[in-house]
Amino acid sequence: MSKIKHFVRQSWLLIVASFCFGLLIAIANAAWSPIIEQNKIDKLNSLMSGLLSKAQRFEMEAELEIKSAKGKKVKSNIYKAISDANTCVGWAFNCEGPGFQDKIELVVAVDKDFERITGFSVLASNETPGFGDKIKLPYYRNQFEGAPAEKLQLVKTGDVEKIDSEIVAISGATVSSEAVVEIINNSIIQIKDQMKGKGLIGNGK
C-alpha cells in the first residue's frame, strides 16, 4: 500500500497535466473542426469550378456508397454542374484511396453523358514532396482531360500528349501515379453504374 501512495504522490502532477492537455486538445479540435470542414467545402467548390468551367453552380444530386480497392466502404457525393442556361454541363464527385504515404482524396469531373473525363484535382494528399506530389502538376493531370470515362491503364512510357485510356506514370513516383489511376478506375465504374441505376444518366438524360 505504501508503494501505491508513493506512486500517487510522485505522479499526481503528471496525471493532472495529462488530463488538462487532453481536455485542451479536445476543446481545440471541437472549435477548429467546423472551420476545417468549411475550408474543405470551399476548396471542393473551387476545384469543381476549375474542372467544369461552363458551370454556373453545383447541386449535390446524390450520396453514393462505393467500395475502395481494399473493400472499404466510402461515401461519394455526386454534384450536378449547371450552366447559366440551367442545363447540365457535367458531373463532379469526390473519391479516395490509399497513396504511397497516406490517403489521397480526389475530385473528378466528367461530361454530362458520363462518357469523358474532363479532369481531376487533388483535394487532399500527403505524398512525398518533389516526387509523389507531382500528381498535382499539369503535365500529369492533363492526360486525364478527355480520356474515356472507363477503365484506365497506367503505362511506364508513352506520349503524354496523346489523350486515350493510357496514362503515363510519373518518373520516380510510380506508386502515387498508380494510386490515382486506381482510385479513378475504382470509383468511376461504380459511380457510373449507380447513376445509371438511379436514372441520373442514360436514357437521353
* pLDDT tens digit sequence for 22-37: 766 767 566 656 666 6
Which pTM was predicted?
A: 0.79
Task: List Cβ neighbours of 200 (8 Å cut-off, separation of 6 or more).
Answer: 61, 62, 78
Per the listing, cell 468551367 goes with 53
User: Residues 109-133: pLDDT tens digits?
Assistant: 999 999 999 999 999 988 888 878 8
Distance between CA 109 and CA 118 in Å, rounded?
Answer: 5
Whether 204 maps to a domain, the answer reads no
110: exposed, middle or buried (Cβ count in 10 Å: 0-12, 13-18, 19+): buried
Whether 152 maps to a domain, the answer reads yes
User: Residues 156-201: pLDDT tens digits?
Assistant: 999 999 999 999 999 888 899 999 999 999 999 999 999 999 999 9
Whether 27 maps to a domain, the answer reads no
pLDDT recorded at residue 109: 97
pLDDT recorded at residue 199: 92
Distance between CA 27 and CA 196 in Å, rounded?
Answer: 44
To the nearest whole percent, how much of the chain has pLDDT over 90?
Answer: 59
Whether 64 maps to a domain, the answer reads yes
In which domain, by residue range, is 51 found?
43-197
| Closest C-alpha among 127, 52, 122 to residue 92 | 52
The tally of domains found in the chain comes to 1
Whether 38 maps to a domain, the answer reads no
Whether 159 maps to a domain, the answer reads yes
Task: List Cβ neighbours of 203 (8 Å cut-off, separation of 6 or more).
Answer: none
Distance between CA 140 and CA 168 in Å, rounded?
Answer: 8
| Closest C-alpha among 125, 120, 123 to residue 92 | 120
H helices then E strands: how many in the chain?
3, 7
Whether 118 maps to a domain, the answer reads yes
Task: List Cβ neighbours of 107 (8 Å cut-off, separation of 6 or more).
Answer: 44, 47, 48, 51, 92, 93, 94, 120, 121, 122, 123
pLDDT recorded at residue 99: 86
pLDDT at 68 over 70: yes
